[in-house]
Amino acid sequence: MRIVDPHSEEEVADILRAAHEDGAAVIPRGGGTKSDWGNPPARTDIMLSTARLNRVIDHAWADLTVTVEAGCTIAELQCALARRGQRLAVDPLWPGRATVGGVLSTNDTGVLRLRYGGLRDLVIGVTLALADGTLARSGGKVVKNVAGYDLSKLVTGAFGTLGVITSATFRLHPVPKYTHTVTAAVPDLGAMQRLLNRILDSQLVPAAVQVRAGTGAPQIDVLFEGTEEGIHAQVDRLQEMTPVTENDAEVWKRLDAGAKISVLPARIAETLEGLVGYAVVEATGIGWVQTHRLSPLRAKIEAMGGSLVLMRPYEGMDAWGDTAGSAGGDSLPLMRAIKQRFDPRGILNPGVFVGGI
Amino acid sequence: MSFLDQLRHILGPHGLISASEEARTYECDGLTNFRVMPLAVALPTSAEQVQAVIRICHRERIPFVARGSGTGLSGGALPVKNGIVISLARMNRILEVDLPNQRIVVEPGVINLDVTARVTGAGYFYAPDPSSQSVCSIGGNVAENAGGAHCLKYGFTTTHVLALEVVLPDGTLAHFGSKTLDAPGYDLAGVFVGSEGTLGVATKITLRIVKRPQCVQTLLAAFKSPNEAGAAVSDIIAAGMLPAAIEMMDNLAIQAAEAAVHANYPNCGGLLLVELDGPVAEVDTLMAQTSAICRENGASEIRVAQTDEERALVWKGRKAAFASVGRISPNFIVQDGVIPRTALPKILDEIERLGLASGLRVANVFHAGDGNLHPLVLYDRRIEGQEKGAERLAERILELCIEMGGSITGEHGVGEEKKHMMGKMFAEPDLATMQRLRCAFDPLSLSNPTKVFPRPRLCGETPGEYQPHPLEVAGVAERF
């Protein structure tokens, strides 16, 4: 396998154009932290590293937006934004190495999603290098914009199978003045679910809520952000529902787990019942599970209308779904048609995505 | 059976309008200066009927345009010549309310405000609030990715759509997204929302609902000019606040709103409306800070609406702004441009200059927090040349938006009205890439085919390579 590390979007396009003509398979790579995610590629001829595309192009702080090249790491980006008291409101895994392009392509948002939305809601524009070397922009640099198709959303979570993201523009949020984490221990999963439902049905506005379950009693962590007065009032209100103790921000450090699950928030307890292993599930219903019994858990979750996708290869399991056609469902033919239009020769990350795309 | 008989067979005698007098209601949407008579109007009552209608359209190569309440302002629901309109107005049931998971499943004809009405008793609301929310439909909101005053904090329609059931342009039924987040596969719901009816017809929509905040406070501040009000907005953002809404009106817009709904606005050059919501303790603190910022920027009068009645009146004036302009001008064009918020003073100066030069008045209403401008260009159709002049001025404002790094539409859509501007905002490869997506969904170009893009294109079998389209071969269509 040949490794190339272009330093401009035009070079990325040139490499892809040549690969397209040769029918050579291209594996885009950011920090290389998530190369185990998805199914293993069917072919690997060229590894296209975005490492040298690492500039913060334009931090328009007064407009609360940033345009950044795909190879910039999340930590470097956040550091640049923090100089103006701003941040991209995501907390993906391995921020020191994970890149903007990789995080977008794998849609790894993190726990702040409850309050600030997912990457799909924060990305407002992308530049894409398509398989045939076309360079295309979609969206723009303004938060509110409905001109043309929103291709930024199409490539978010597409695992690089439709094009290589060379740069992206995001809406930003101010770094909160105060943050405060509290934890409630609950006797069992049933009590956990009841408390979680009450928090979500209340007028509290936590930035993040997560459930930790495995050995011992389940715990619920709640993160508040905002003004000192607002945080105190909300912690007091939460205290009326359940005893809580102050906790360290370390509790939000993301779990490097074997699988990502997505279930309905009100069915988290049901999902975790009988789990042999450990899980952290966010109040959005997205969770991270470490267990040796992935297959039965997937069957149970799929029957509930949710999904379990692998974060690393697991013998005999497809990364995306088990039941024939469950991943992608009746829109899989359309997904294939889109892939065909964007990458007719199937050179980008072949076989990595849903349904063998 | 003729095409219309086939449709009548599916829809029943009351499900099809083919007489031209009755169909006239459908010849335009909220953009009334474009009119096209449809071949017929289908009024399906189920996804199966929508499917059956579209299958026939696909077989007979008849283009179709989906329509909700017809309130769109860019001509997205304008019929296409020799095509039919599919009105979703009769598919207006709320199918499921799932409070524990904060989801609601609706048919496309459900009215925006009825979603909130259904969950308000439990303390929830549906966040996207276009000004037409008492009449516009969720299906139309989905097509246009409707925004509203509160999207600064709560996001647009796309933020709140979790799943869609869609009839594709060949009549196939497909499901995008899921009630759970991040369903494996491409984010098709993400690209469908805002695609202006060009990728198919939504027949079922799963929405997110939001808990009502503990308290809401709305501040009105009067400034000498929009520029001072704009400076206050910058300071509010710089202070790290994310208000639920920040709206601005200039003097002409204030006069119009006063004439129409007597909102009791202060008479000033630039009126700022800031709404904060959340926990009481937080809102109290931030509202004090906001008032101070407004005072520092020279606000002559500051009022905080405390009761629901006061707030309702404040918003009534703002939401009625477009219609109110009818009180001060016989005709007007509503424009919808976006700029980076910091370019506000610059574009306001330019708009004023352009207005003076062309002898036309422009009233300005903005979603100031996100840089979405709604200039209202006033004119009188009876005066020779004014309409053309107004159109030119409105278009020039959009060009300025593009030059300043913004967009030609923030929430009204491209539709028929602005498709010729797309080539100014995007380069040819950008448009060609969007076309690839369209061709994957609709290779025969049947779903609202003449909208959004500057000129119709046919979809070759392989992108980038010329291949004659079946319609070309048959001599029915030619390539542009």
CATH code where residue A187 lies: 3.40.462.40
CA distance A271 to chain B (A): 13
Owning domain of residue A218: 178-310
The CATH number linked to B398 is: 3.30.70.2740
Q: Are residues B98 and B206 in the same domain?
A: yes
* Model pLDDT, residue B19: 86
Residues A130 and A208 in one domain: no
pLDDT for residue B320: 84
Q: What is the distance of C-alpha B164 from the center of its chain?
A: 18
| Phi and psi angles of residue A213, each rounded to the nearest 5 degrees, phi first | -140, 145
CA distance B47 to chain A (A): 16
Inter-helix orientation angle B251-261/B308-319, to 10° = 120
My answer on whether A158 and A182 are in the same domain is no
Q: How many whole angstroms from its chain centre is CA B321?
A: 16
In the predicted model, is pLDDT for residue B200 greater than 90? yes
Contacts within 8 Å (CB) and 24+ apart, A10-17 = A10/A135, A12/A48, A12/A50, A12/A53, A12/A129, A12/A164, A12/A166, A13/A129, A13/A133, A13/A134, A13/A135, A14/A133, A15/A46, A15/A48, A16/A48, A16/A129, A16/A130, A16/A131, A16/A132, A16/A133, A16/A164, A16/A347, A17/A132, A17/A133
Place of tokens 């202070």: B239
Tally of structural domains, chain A:
2
Confidence grade of residue B306 (pLDDT, cut at 50, 70, 90): confident
Based on the fold, state whether residues A187 and A162 are members of the same structural domain.
no
CATH of the domain at B267: 3.30.70.2190
- What does the pLDDT average to over B75-94? 97
Which of A115, A141, A175 lies at the terminal end of a domain, its last residue?
A175
In chain A, which residue's Cα lies nearest the Cα of B459? A341
* pLDDT score of A100 more than 70: yes
Looking at residues B251-257, what average pLDDT do you find? Answer: 92
CB B230 within 8 A of CB B373: no
Q: Which of residues 198-257 of A touch B (CB under 8 A)?
A: 200-205, 226-227, 229-230, 232-234, 237
Rounded mean pLDDT, B250-272: 92
Among the candidates B393, B417, B441, a domain finishes at B417
- Show which of A139, A160, A175 is a domain's final residue: A175
- The closest of A263, A243, A258, A253 to A212, measured between CA atoms, is A253
Q: Is the pLDDT of residue B470 over 50?
A: no
Rounded average pLDDT over B41-58: 98
pLDDT tens by residue, B101-132: 999 999 999 999 999 999 999 999 999 999 89
In A, which residues are within 8 Å of B426 by CB distance? 137, 147-148
CB-based contact (8 Å) between A330 and chain B?
yes
Q: pLDDT tens digits for B167-179?
A: 999 999 999 999 9
- Give the residue-averaged pLDDT of A224-236: 96
Answer whether residue B307 is part of any domain.
yes
**Which of A83, A146, A318 has the most B C-beta neighbours within 10 Å, making it the best mutation to test the interface with B?**
A146
A59 has which bridge partners?
A: A66
Q: Mind listing the pLDDT tens digit for each residue in B407-416? A: 999 999 999 9
Neighbouring residues of A199: CB distance < 8 A, sequence distance ≥ 6: A206, A209, A220, A222, A238, A241, A283
Q: Look up residue B367 and give its two tokens.
A: 């979603």
Mean pLDDT of A288-293: 95
How many Cα atoms are found within 13 Å in the side-chain-facing hemisphere of A222? 27
Task: Name the more confident of B108 and B326.
Answer: B108
B132-136: average pLDDT: 94
Phi, psi angles (nearest 5°) of residue B303? -130, 145
Does B187 sit within 8 Å of A154, measured CB to CB? yes
Q: Is B231 part of any domain?
A: yes
**Segment B181-190 mean pLDDT:** 96
Query: Quick check: helix, strand or coil at residue A241?
Result: helix
Q: By percentage, how much of chain B surpasses pLDDT 90?
A: 81
Instruction: Give yes or no: residues B17 and B126 share one domain.
Output: no
Q: CB-based contact (8 Å) between A157 and chain B?
A: yes
Whether the ipTM is more than 0.90: the answer is yes
Same domain, A169 and A191: no
Smallest CA–CA distance, residue B98 to chain A, in Å, is 10
Does residue A254 share a domain with residue A105?
no
Does residue A334 fall inside a structural domain?
A: no
Q: Do B193 and A150 touch (CB under 8 A)?
A: yes
What is the least distance, in Å, from the CA of A76 to any CA of chain B? 21
Q: Render the burial of B25-53: b for 16+ CB within 10 Å, e for the rest.
A: ebbbbbbeeeebebbbbbbbbebebbbbb
CB atoms within 10 A of CB A18: 14
Do A273 and A132 belong to one domain? no
Q: Is residue B227 part of a domain?
A: yes
Residues of chain A contacting B168 with CB distance shorter than 8 Å = 334
pLDDT single digits (tens) B145-163: 999 889 889 999 999 999 9
pLDDT-based confidence at residue A323 (cuts at 50, 70, 90): low
The answer to whether residues A76 and A157 belong to one domain is yes
Measured in whole angstroms, the distance separating CA A317 from the mean position of its chain's CA atoms is: 21
pLDDT at position B479 is 39
CB contact under 8 A, A63 and B414: no
Q: What is the pLDDT of residue B276?
A: 96
Q: Is A163 in the same domain as A15? A: yes
| Residue B467 confidence (pLDDT) | 45
pTM over 0.90: yes
pLDDT in tens, A292-322: 999 999 999 999 999 999 999 988 899 999 8
Q: Would you state the structure tokens that stand for residue A297, as one six-digit string?
A: 């858990």
Q: Which residues pair with A290 in a beta bridge?
A: A278
- The overall average pLDDT reported for chain A is 95
Q: How confident is the model at residue B322 (pLDDT cuts 50, 70, 90)?
A: confident
Mean pLDDT to the nearest integer, B198-214: 97
Q: Mean pLDDT, to the nearest integer, of B50-60? A: 97
Say if residue B391 is in the same domain as residue B334: yes
Within a domain: B478? no
Residue A36 pLDDT: 93
Tokens of B138: 């969720």
Residues B384 and B443 placed together within one structural domain of the fold: no
Residue A325, pLDDT score: 56
Confirm whether A116 is domain-assigned.
Answer: yes
Of the three residues A142, A175, A208, the one that is the final residue of a domain is: A175
Averaged over B199-203, what is the pLDDT?
Answer: 98
Please indicate, yes or no, whether residues B433 and B410 belong to a single structural domain of this protein: no
CA distance A53 to A49: 9
B480 in a structural domain: no
Does B479 fall in a domain?
Answer: no
- State which of B417, B435, B451 marks the end of a domain: B417
Give the whole-angstrom CA distance, residue B188 versus residue A154: 7
| Nearest neighbour of B282 by CB, restricted to A107, A229, A266 | A229
Q: Give yes or no: residues B433 and B397 share one domain.
A: no
B107 within a domain of the structure (yes/no): yes
> Parallel, antiparallel, or unpaired for β B301-305 and B173-177?
unpaired
| Within-domain flag for A151 | yes
Q: Report angle CA A15, A16, A17 to the nearest 5 degrees.
A: 95
Secondary structure (DSSP) of B38-98: -SEEE--SSHHHHHHHHHHHHHHT--EEEESSS--SSSTT---TT-EEEE-TT---EEEEE
Residues 6+ apart with CB under 8 A from B278: A205, A226, A230, B213, B214, B215
Identify the three-state secondary structure at position A343.
coil
What's the confidence (pLDDT) of residue B149? 87
* Residue B183 in domain: yes
Tell whether B441 and B400 lie within a shared domain: no
User: Based on the domain organization, do A116 and A262 belong to the same domain?
Assistant: no
Q: How much is the pLDDT for A343?
A: 98
Strand order in the sheet with A26-29: A2-4, A46-49, A26-29
Q: Are residues B113 and B204 in the same domain?
A: yes
Q: Which amino acid is at B328?
A: I
Name the nearest CA neighbour of B210 among A118, A201, A143, A284.
A201
Question: Which one, of B256, B248, B234, lies nearest residue B366 by Cα?
Answer: B248
Q: For the beta carbon of residue B101, count every other beta carbon within 10 angstroms.
A: 19
- Give the nearest partner residue to B187 out of A120, A284, A330, using CB atoms: A120
Mean pLDDT, range B359-369, rounded to an integer: 92
pLDDT digits (tens, 9 = 90+) for A113-141: 999 999 999 999 999 999 999 999 999 99
Q: Is residue A320 part of a domain?
A: no
**Spatial separation of the C-alpha atoms in residues B345 and A62, rounded to whole Å:** 14
Q: Are residues B125 and B197 in the same domain?
A: yes
Choosing from B378, B397, B417, the residue where a domain stops is: B417
**B106: CATH:** 3.30.465.10
A323 in a domain, yes or no? no
Pick the residue from chain B with its C-alpha nearest to A150.
Answer: B191
Q: In total, how many domains does chain B have? A: 5
| Structure tokens that stand for B314 in this block | 């404040």
Q: Are residues A31 and A162 located together in one domain of the fold?
A: yes
Q: Are residues A66 and A206 in the same domain?
A: no
**Full domain range(s) for residue B268:** 215-322
**Alpha-carbon span A343 to B7, nearest angstrom:** 38
- Mean pLDDT across chain B, nearest whole number? 92
**Are A48 and A138 part of one and the same domain?**
yes
Q: How far apart are CA B353 and CA B350, in angstroms?
A: 5
Min Cα separation B259/chain A (Å): 30
- Region B416-430 average pLDDT: 95
97-116 of A, contacting B, C-beta below 8 A: 107, 113
Domain co-membership, B145 together with B194: yes
Interface contact B281-A344, CB threshold 8 A:
no
Write out pLDDT tens, residues B394-405: 999 999 999 999
Q: Residue A50's domain is classified under what CATH number?
A: 3.30.465.10
Q: Assess whether B207 and B113 both reside in one domain.
A: yes
Would you call B413 and A203 a contact, using CB atoms and an 8 Å cutoff? no
Q: Is A327 a member of any domain?
A: no
- The reported pLDDT for the residue numbered B167 is 98
pLDDT category of residue B215 using cuts at 50, 70 and 90 = very high
Is residue A352 assigned to a domain? Answer: no
Q: Which of A24-28, B94-98, B260-264, B359-363 has the lowest mean pLDDT?
A: B260-264
